[in-house]
Structure 1
Amino acid sequence: MPSNGWTSRPGLALELVLPILLAAAGSISLATASASAEPSARSAPASSPSPAAPAASVWKPTETADTVLHAENVLWSRPLHDALRLPGWVDVAVDHRTRFEFLDDPWRPGESQKQTQIVQRDRLRLGVDAPGGIRFLGEFQDARVFNDRPNDFVQAEVDHLDVLQLFVSTTRKDLFGKGLRVDAHAGRMTLDVASRRLVARNDFRNTVNAFDGLHLQLGSDDRKWRVRGFYTFPVAIRDSDLMNNRPSTRRRFWGLAFEDQRNPWLQLDAYSLGLNDLPGNRSYRTYGLRVHRKPVPEELDYEGEVAAQLGDRRTAAQGVRDQSAWMVHAELGYTFGVAWSPRLAAQFDYASGNDDPSDDDSHAFDPLFGARRFDLMPTGIFGAFRRTNIVSPGVRIGLVPTKTVRLDVKVRHWMLDEARDAFAGTAGPGGGALTDASGDAGRDLGTDLELRARWDAREWLAFDVGYDHWWKGRYLDQVANARTRGDADYFYLQSRVRF
């Protein structure tokens, strides 16, 4: 893929300078607000000093039109809103992220031996709250990759200036005087469902899944439970076009979900998802159940999720194949009541694969539109593992030294569920996913160690740094077309500015 902008000096300068401008603007706005709130020492009489006025607060929305659609926190303070002197019914916000990535000893066919990339993502949010609970929201995104070479891995990272969300919504609270709430959305939107493993508004990935359609929910005003349904057309990302991401009426995605958080010991998600993808030759129904408890100091927490996928898929070699696949996630953790609040958790993930890729049945689980960074591994130019044909036990340790710093250590062992099926996360510039039809290469994919640190320096400024070492297993030594046999190293450094 071409380098998307290094040859354009004005465009490159803007991309590199923008983070500095954003940080400066946020600092100036906050400083100006603070200064304007303090009485002038020169104007106050010496004999009767005035008490210090409270610091001026920066406007912050309590709810936005998309708050109920996804889990991402979009309720940060808005210095830009105050600088523009906008009324409270208008919302304007900017979000900029830059990430440097390095990968050594990759595995995908045709990849470069060493890869360095700079990925950048800019978002502009424009919202209007009209009378009667009517809201409008537009969210625009520009996602680009710099410093990539022809044989580097660039997938789902580029989306030139486009519409991420554009919808109208209505909200009715305390319906019938029963403490019920109804929300309806129509237009283009992003979604999180249940654990986000199958439907997610992507975060680490540079681009985001979007859907054109309808979303309706009924729940309690305190958001302790809700029933939600949606009927949409997934939006196809065209990385080289401006404002041209479009849905296809031949791809339909719908779902119904129940989410209940009333019992802190037993929080429940149940969902049914349908996908009819004619261009992709997929027609699935996915049924899932999740039970979990959030971490609490000096107590056990847990999560269990199972999903069954039924339907059919079509391939050029075998024609129509019956789909019957499974996904399982299990986790048990404990948070110690000592300094840094260490949490130790054991994890297990399973996603079925095909035991006989040549027969008329398909057992390879399809992760649909889910995210994987939060419990599997970093994606970007790394991300070897998907929720397809994998078995992975692991251990994770989380530490919280301060309110703004979080440290994580994760170790996971990886195996194929079925040795003859494809290693799904390995399609690259030089060909499709690694596959050993004989099964002689075995199932052992190796073990990875991940270190991660996150620092929320300010409400509007955050940093994220991570390192992952993957000791490759026997499979990578034996399978044909693997790019290198050496162990892989991945590093990233990320900054994010929001105001």
Structure 2
Amino acid sequence: MSRLLVSLCLPVTIAAPALAQQKDGLDLSGTVRLRHESIENQPRAGFDRDDALINLRTTVAATYRDGPWTLGAELWDSRVWGADPGSPVSTNEVNTFELVQAFVGYRAKLGRTQLTLQGGRFTLNIGSRRLVAADDYRNTTNGYTGLRADVAAPDGLSATLVYVLPQQRRPDDAAALRSGRVQWDREGFDQVLLGGTIAKTKAIGPLTLEGSFYHFGERDTQGRPGRDRSLNTYGGRIIRDPAPGRLDVEVEAFHQSGRISSAIAPNATRLPVSASFVHAELGYTVKDAWKTRVSIDFDRASGDGTGGRYSRFDTLFGMRRADLAPAGLYNAIGRANLVSLGPRIETAPSKRIDITATYHAMWLASRTDSFSTTGVRDTSGHSGSFAGHQIDGRVRWWAIPDRVRLEVTGVVLAKGRFLQDAPNAPGGRGTRYLSLNATAAF
């Protein structure tokens, strides 16, 4: 398989610098990422115990600027090979030939305040990206159709406001995904996301403060019943950015309320929602040439219990890789029914190499709910609450600076009592995940 990876990467590596184009107000760019990933002792329920996939993601973007106006478009093509009926292939991996972005933007100054408006199809990364993000590690991304406004006022005050229809990736049935069939993604008023984030730098000494509110509404569509979510998520963040020779801190908390159906059946009972999420991080950056940063990270996302209300936190369209673990074949740890604590180290031995390593001890917030995104559950609660120990490492190297980057990601999960004893827990005492990535930019 390593020979196959090299043979597929080499033409991309050679061709990438020659494809760069820039003309007047027009910028053209793109990426090609090839990934081989494998897993032993899959921790998620219902899939092959051992598996391997080849992912290919190609993006081409065009941006035209003329004074205050911007026109932009971006095409994504995401495919996989090597999947069989037991492989966890979904729209997280496959979305072929999709115009994820096609927008018009306008910039204006109102006194000392900068206003930017955007309409059409676009990607979003807002605040910490834990609620609204364009996922990068995953083979596909999140796209949105609607309106966005960004305001940058004097004295470090800024805001991002959105009213968007999340793009629902199509096709989404197993046969079409494995065949790579092309179908335009769907957006409609059956899924609506609105809200925004306001931030103020140096609000309290060196601390930046953020406040966020997002409403997500969802209802059934023809042939695709859902949980009819109506969720209000609100909270805030306190940040002191990392800098050499000093402590940094980040604390973010959200509460979630609203209503959700207890099942996808049309006459299912509607339940009130009361869920929560907290992320806390304390770090220190060493004054060294490697820019080494060490931190202790804590995450808690509530899980569902009993008592006539729904308590499992919904991360909406948030990323997971930066805080928790890779997606792809692993995809076991997300912001739901999780308590996680452990150290992180990040370092860059040179401008071309960066290394990240984390350790997380993990528990269930609720013993009777499924653990995080594994689908493993013990409704009796008799399997305990300790899920296991996770070690996650990543090394990235710019083989050709700003053009070709190679990446190795590995995860080892030593299963705790819950992931071994729960009734539907897959076999094996530990999980090993490895991905080899080559990305060319042009």
TM-score normalised by the chain length of structure 1 = 0.80
Taking only aligned residues, the RMSD between alpha carbons, in angstroms, comes to 1.9
Shift of 1:225: 3.6
Equivalent residue, structure 1, for 2:136? 203
Shift of 1:463: 1.5
Matched, 1:193 2:183: no
Equivalent residue, structure 2, for 1:441? 383
Pairing 1:119-134 to 2, within 5 Å after superposition: 119-130=55-66, 132-134=67-69
Equivalent residue, structure 1, for 2:403? 460
Looking at structure 2, the residues matched to 118 and 260 of structure 1 have their Cα atoms a distance apart, in angstroms, of: 43
Q: Amino acid of the residue matched to residue 24 of structure 1? A: I
Equivalent residue, structure 2, for 1:51? none
Looking at structure 2, the residues matched to 435 and 25 of structure 1 have their Cα atoms a distance apart, in angstroms, of: 48
Pairing 1:103-252 to 2, within 5 Å after superposition: 103-130=39-66, 132-155=67-90, 156-173=92-109, 175-176=110-111, 178=112, 180-220=113-153, 224-239=156-171, 240=176, 241-252=181-192
Matched, 1:334 2:267: no
Matched, 1:295 2:242: yes
Equivalent residue, structure 2, for 1:23? 13
Equivalent residue, structure 1, for 2:223? none
Looking at structure 2, the residues matched to 393 and 446 of structure 1 have their Cα atoms a distance apart, in angstroms, of: 11
Looking at structure 1, the residues matched to 402 and 366 of structure 2 have their Cα atoms a distance apart, in angstroms, of: 46
Q: Amino acid of the residue matched to residue 116 of structure 2? A: D
Q: Amino acid of the residue matched to residue 354 of structure 1? A: D
* Deviations, residues 354-401 of structure 1 (Å, cap 9, x unaligned): 221xx4201111110000100101111102111111101111111221
Equivalent residue, structure 2, for 1:254? 194
Q: Amino acid of the residue matched to residue 93 of structure 1? A: S
Pairing 1:43-122 to 2, within 5 Å after superposition: 80-82=20-22, 87-122=23-58
Equivalent residue, structure 2, for 1:430? none
Return the structure number with greater strand share. Answer: 2
Looking at structure 1, the residues matched to 404 and 304 of structure 2 have their Cα atoms a distance apart, in angstroms, of: 45
1:346 alignment partner, one of 296, 305, 314: 296
Shift of 1:135: 1.3
Q: Provide runs of 4+ in structure 1 moved above 3 Å.
A: 15-22, 261-264
Q: Percent identity?
A: 31
* Deviations, residues 7-35 of structure 1 (Å, cap 9, x unaligned): xxxxxxxx9977434322234x4xxxxxx
Structure 1 portions without partners, runs of 5+? 1-14, 30-78, 427-432
Q: Amino acid of the residue matched to residue 479 of structure 1? A: A
* Deviations, residues 414-435 of structure 1 (Å, cap 9, x unaligned): 1100101122412xxxxxx222
SS in 1 for 2:315: coil
Equivalent residue, structure 2, for 1:429? none
Looking at structure 2, the residues matched to 486 and 321 of structure 1 have their Cα atoms a distance apart, in angstroms, of: 37
Matched, 1:365 2:318: no
Number of aligned positions between the proteins: 418
Looking at structure 1, the residues matched to 6 and 98 of structure 2 have their Cα atoms a distance apart, in angstroms, of: 20
* Deviations, residues 63-108 of structure 1 (Å, cap 9, x unaligned): xxxxxxxxxxxxxxxx6215xxxx2201111211111101001122
SS in 2 for 1:425: coil
CA change 1:461–1:261 in 2 (3 A) is farther
Looking at structure 2, the residues matched to 163 and 338 of structure 1 have their Cα atoms a distance apart, in angstroms, of: 44
Looking at structure 2, the residues matched to 338 and 216 of structure 1 have their Cα atoms a distance apart, in angstroms, of: 40
Looking at structure 2, the residues matched to 309 and 139 of structure 1 have their Cα atoms a distance apart, in angstroms, of: 33
Pairing 1:388-403 to 2, within 5 Å after superposition: 388-403=336-351
Q: Amino acid of the residue matched to residue 255 of structure 1? A: G
Pairing 1:269-348 to 2, within 5 Å after superposition: 269-279=210-220, 280=226, 281-316=228-263, 319-348=269-298
CA contact (8 A) 2:235 2:254 kept: yes
Structure (1 or 2) with the larger CA radius of gyration: 1
CA contact (8 A) 1:342 1:399 kept: yes
1:413 alignment partner, one of 361, 367, 372: 361
